[in-house]
Chain A
Amino acid sequence: MTPADMDQALELSPRAVRPSWRDRVLRGLIGALALAALIAMAVDVGVTPTALAAGSGKLATFLRAMIPPNAGGELVRIVRALGETFAMAFAGTVLAAVAALPLGVFGAKSVVPQPLLHFGFRRVLDMFRGVPALVWALIFVAAFGLGPFGGVLALAIADVPGLAKLYAEAIENCDEKPLEGLRSAGAAPPVVLRYGLLPQVAPLMASQTLFFLESNFRNAAVLGIVGAGGIGFELEERIRIFAFDEVAFIVLLYVVCVAVLDTISQRLRARLA
């Protein structure tokens, strides 16, 4: 690299040879600001090392109380509750998927090209998405009484906006070429959708729905705590009386179930994709 070469390169593309330091400093500054904000927020909500130290003593006692895990002679009841939780998650997901399908289709920009309509539709979905499943559960348990029914409804309603959005995106991101090929052969619009669109989006949608089933199984435990039945109810009962050995037993069993469900769903999704 002679000085003449360097001069020539600088003349050809000065920014490529000497990247601007201003950009780098700016990027560093943004990083520093983000870090400062993180620390400020942590201090504000009391996430400090002292708080951790204060609580860890009690936490250690709980952990010791967990060993050895123990079913407390209620294995059958626990397994039944787990089954109930799975049933809640399953029913909630199926209901959500059924409701989200038409919403997703109409939420897709390629299906409803009118921008104002599309924008309005998406915002309405966003509004519903802003309400957590727990809030729905509290409302429905109050309305329909204690038990899984409120939980199923809560899961379904909380999932609809998210699933509809994912379905809409799957439809929007599909490859246009097969659809064009069908149109070029004179296919009617429903045939274009059946042959060109459905085979593309069906595996994607199925895979997303399975993913929601997985996370619903995990979320359903939380709903049980507010009275929607299932394993969450059993957990809450035992945490309240400090029966941590039984809590540990339920949690371990639950972890195994989640892992099994995740594995099955992952295999299915890999095959679908």
Chain B
Amino acid sequence: MLELQGVTKRFGDTVAVDNVSLACRRGEMVGIIGRSGAGKSTLLRMINRLSEPDAGKILWESREVSRLRGDDLRRWRRRCAMIFQQFNLCPRLDVVTNVLVGVVAERPLGPTLFKIFPAADRARAVLELDALDMAHAALQRAGTLSGGQQQRVAIARAMLQDPDVVLADEPVASLDPVNAEVVMEALQRICHERNVPVLVNLHSLEIARTYCTRVIAMAKGAVVFDGPPQGLTPAVLERVYGRRAGRTLEPLPAVEAA
């Protein structure tokens, strides 16, 4: 179980994440919604420890990951796979090397610096790529791929991390609807097959409703709703997105990204 207890993050005078407490069980697919600047990204980044919480605790299976340092921290990051809106691949490296980044946290430094990996790692990388129909591009530079293809490479990288938790920060916001579907289905599959919690930041309510079993809504850094997607009534949405959204969102297809 992933637990957040009173997690807070400030940037100067603004409180990005305000005293957030929540718990996610294994196999839960959690959509996090809210306006831009509501603290969704910061929340996910703190779980991976890309960002340090100013207060509160983050626990995984009762172990306080918000206090890890050094090698332990890197091992936690590996087990807590992150998927980004802009994919965050290394564009000049080939696809299979980008996927192999998923194991570098636990491989010896010397060979890794020379891009030497056990054949078994490379084979796994190719198989994970194949599961997302990307094996044909294994030796291509990642920067030459389209957005949808790059996001699939990023998911293959996440799979090689053998994740205990998957965090996805707006994974489909820069993708066309077909690629968005491919990516969301892949996340759903990871959630079920590996039985891990998946936290996805989303701009699209429709996608949250279709794929998530639970929705958390944030406004001004605080959680204002936590429940099944059916609970997202117009009144709730008005609290999340402000007055205009509540009025214009019938029949609530999607909310524009800022």
Chain A residues positioned under 8 Å from B142 (CB to CB): none
B123, B138, B139 interface centre (most CB from chain A within 10 Å): B123
Pick the residue among B115, B127, B135, B138 that contacts A5 (CB under 8 A): B127
Kindly state whether residue A52 has any CB partner on chain B within 8 Å: no
Chain A residues positioned under 8 Å from B220 (CB to CB): none
Q: Which residue of the partner chain B has the closest CB to A13?
A: B138
Kindly state whether residue A36 has any CB partner on chain B within 8 Å: no
Q: Given A6-B119, A9-B122, decide whether A16 and B127 contact each other with a Cβ distance below 8 A.
A: no
> What is the bound-complex CA distance between A8 and B125, given in angstroms?
12
Kindly state whether residue B50 has any CB partner on chain A within 8 Å: no
- 1/0 contact string of B113-131 vs chain A (CB within 8 Å): 0010001101111110110
A17 and B119 contacting across the interface, CB-CB below 8 Å: yes
B126 and A13 contacting across the interface, CB-CB below 8 Å: yes
> What is the bound-complex CA distance between A6 and B129, given in angstroms?
14
Give the contacts of A202-261 with B (CB-CB under 8 A): none
Q: How many residues of A contact B (CB 8 A)?
A: 13
- 1/0 contact string of A10-22 vs chain B (CB within 8 Å): 1011011111000
Chain A residues positioned under 8 Å from B120 (CB to CB): 1, 6
Tell me the dominant secondary structure on chain A's binding face: helix
> What is the bound-complex CA distance between A13 and B136, given in angstroms?
7
Chain B residues positioned under 8 Å from A5 (CB to CB): 123-124, 127
Chain A residues positioned under 8 Å from B115 (CB to CB): 19
- 1/0 contact string of B91-123 vs chain A (CB within 8 Å): 000101000000000000000000100011011
Chain A residues positioned under 8 Å from B138 (CB to CB): 12-13, 15-16
Chain B residues positioned under 8 Å from A1 (CB to CB): 120, 123-124
> What is the bound-complex CA distance between A19 and B124, given in angstroms?
14
Chain B residues positioned under 8 Å from A17 (CB to CB): 119, 122-123, 126
Q: Which residue of the partner chain A has the closest CB to B126?
A: A9
Q: Given A1-B120, A16-B96, A17-B119, decide whether A9 and B139 contact each other with a Cβ distance below 8 A.
A: no
In the complex, what's the smallest C-beta–C-beta distance from B160 to chain A, in angstroms? Answer: 12
B124 and A9 contacting across the interface, CB-CB below 8 Å: yes
Pick the residue among A6, A8, A10, A16 that contacts B139 (CB under 8 A): A16
B139 and A12 contacting across the interface, CB-CB below 8 Å: no
In the complex, what's the smallest C-beta–C-beta distance from A31 to chain B, in angstroms? Answer: 12
Measuring CB to CB, which residues of chain A are less than 8 angstroms from any residue of chain B? 1, 5-6, 8-10, 12-13, 15-19
- The 4 A-B residue pairs whose C-beta atoms are closest, nearest first, are A9-B123, A16-B138, A13-B138, A16-B96
Measuring CB to CB, which residues of chain B are less than 8 angstroms from any residue of chain A? 94, 96, 115, 119-120, 122-127, 129-130, 135-136, 138-139
A-B CB contact pairs (8 Å), 18 listed? A1-B123, A5-B123, A6-B120, A9-B122, A9-B126, A9-B130, A12-B126, A12-B130, A13-B135, A13-B138, A15-B139, A16-B96, A16-B122, A16-B125, A16-B138, A17-B119, A17-B122, A18-B119
